[in-house]
Amino acid sequence: MADIDPNLRVDDFDYDLPAELIAQEPPAERDGGRLLVVNRTTGTLQDRHITDFPTLLNAGDLLVVNNTRVLAARLHGRRSTGGKVELLLLHRLEPGLWEALGKPARHLQPGTRFLLVSRDGSTEVAAEVDQSLGEGRLIVRLDEAIERHLDDFGEAPLPPYIRHAVADSERYQTVFGHVPGSAAAPTAGLHLSSRLLQELKQRGVRVAEVTLQIGLDTFRPVTVERVVEHQMHSEWCAVPPETAALIHETRSAGNRIVVVGTTSARTLESWATAGEQSVSGWSSWTQVFITPGYQWRVVDAMLTNFHLPRSTLLMMISSLAGRELTRRAYEHAIAGRYRFFSFGDAMLIV
């Protein structure tokens, strides 16, 4: 991976977004959003719709999606005093042992026991704080009954900029997500309906899966002034053998690798950066940080949502599309009243 330009500043990736453009709910139809097509070769921007997406790919292209599924990771309970407890499970360390965020942190010290309550209030299960890692992060011991019935106890956590629960929780899951483990959805994938995937296949576009388990750090603001000073978070990802084989076949035929979302992109570029581009499959924790100047190894095109200002995701997009074209695309989207962030519209970078 190329070294990060020491002159890059985080405020180089800032922009002003009217609050009313932050989508608070998904479109009525899963594939009902708008699509801004960003052409890197011509520098042009084109207003389209998500339903046009299959027509913008070619027979022989490979579409790579992240098959993760969002955990029902937000749990509620009470302490012996009657005080409320909220846990947000981050990842499973071993059976019955999880890293989590807990509130109120001051009352969740090592050895603290509390009850977690099912969503319908009918079941209470004991839990205990094993360690405190600081800043609200905990290691907690849970009864394995909760792990077996997590959907009965928890709810999928929504990003902090979405103010209300979504009426249908499946709209914060992709139609192809089947590997539980993420604390957030791979949101570009939310646009792809079953009918759109079927149309893509009918047009000769093959679909392959990778896995990246998204952590909550993806929402944490970048607080440093210079990009090079930012400590990138770790996420677990995997490229299965069948996907590796399809990538090699697609490359050999001179066709494109089109990724759905920054998480699929991060997985493939981590795989390539690790030098593990064999067809035997690969999995690892990744801290790859993609910023302008990065030399892309696998990804040719990307479907992605509009990202938060000053975010590592916007830095990745700027690396692929170029800083100036990305700036123009975002200005165009704001002027055109596109919807932003998780439930918002999308852009296709080709």
Beta 124-134 vs 137-142: how paired, if at all? Answer: antiparallel
- The type of residue at 13 is F
CA distance 243 to 241: 5
Per-residue pLDDT at 315 exceeds 70: yes
Location of structure tokens 């002159």: 7
218 is a domain residue: yes
- The reported pLDDT for the residue numbered 50 is 98
Q: Which of 153, 188, 206 is at the close of a domain?
A: 153
Average pLDDT score, the chain: 93
Query: Do 22 and 45 have their domain in common?
Result: yes
CATH number of 120's domain = 2.40.10.240
Could you please report the per-residue DSSP string of 299-319? -SEEEEE---TT-HHHHHHHH
CA distance 304 to 264: 10
Question: 54 is in which domain, residue-wise?
Answer: 10-70+166-349
Q: Which of 125, 153, 181 is at the close of a domain?
A: 153
- Given a contact cutoff of 8 angstroms between Cβ atoms, the answer to whether 57 and 203 are in contact is yes
90 is a domain residue: yes
Query: Do 280 and 300 have their domain in common?
Result: yes
Query: Do 202 and 311 have their domain in common?
Result: yes
pLDDT digits (tens, 9 = 90+) for 36-94: 999 999 999 999 999 999 999 999 999 999 999 999 989 999 998 999 999 999 888 88
CA distance 113 to 260: 42
Query: Do 267 and 119 have their domain in common?
Result: no
Location of structure tokens 């292209």: 61
CA distance 233 to 222: 11
Q: Where are the beta strands (DSSP E) in 143-274?
A: 179-182, 206-213, 235-239, 257-260
Beta 301-305 vs 257-260: how paired, if at all? Answer: parallel
User: In sequence order, which ranges of 149-273 are alpha helices (DSSP H)?
Assistant: 150-153, 194-202, 241-252, 261-273
- The type of residue at 269 is E
CA distance 238 to 136: 29
Query: Do 85 and 211 have their domain in common?
Result: no
- The reported pLDDT for the residue numbered 37 is 98
State both tokens at 165: 């629960």
Coil/strand/helix, residue 107: helix
- The reported pLDDT for the residue numbered 1 is 43
CA distance 159 to 26: 13
- Most confident of the following: 3-17, 220-234, 325-339: 325-339
Query: Do 53 and 83 have their domain in common?
Result: no
In eight-state DSSP terms, residue 105 is G
Backbone φ and ψ of 308, nearest 5°: -65, 150
Q: Which of 153, 187, 219 is at the close of a domain?
A: 153
Query: How many domains would you assign to the chain?
Result: 2
Query: Do 142 and 83 have their domain in common?
Result: yes
pLDDT digits (tens, 9 = 90+) for 249-266: 999 999 999 999 999 999
Segment 239-251 shows an average pLDDT of: 96
CA distance 63 to 61: 7
Location of structure tokens 């100036």: 324
State both tokens at 70: 């969002």
Query: Do 269 and 138 have their domain in common?
Result: no
CATH number of 270's domain = 3.40.1780.10
Distances (CA, A) of 198 to 51, 135, 234, 257, 331: 12, 45, 34, 18, 33
- Please give the share of the chain, as a percent, with pLDDT higher than 90: 81
CA distance 246 to 146: 38
51 is a domain residue: yes
* Residue among 269, 274, 272 at smallest CA distance from 259: 269
- The reported pLDDT for the residue numbered 143 is 87
- Quote the pTM value: 0.91
Query: Do 342 and 207 have their domain in common?
Result: yes
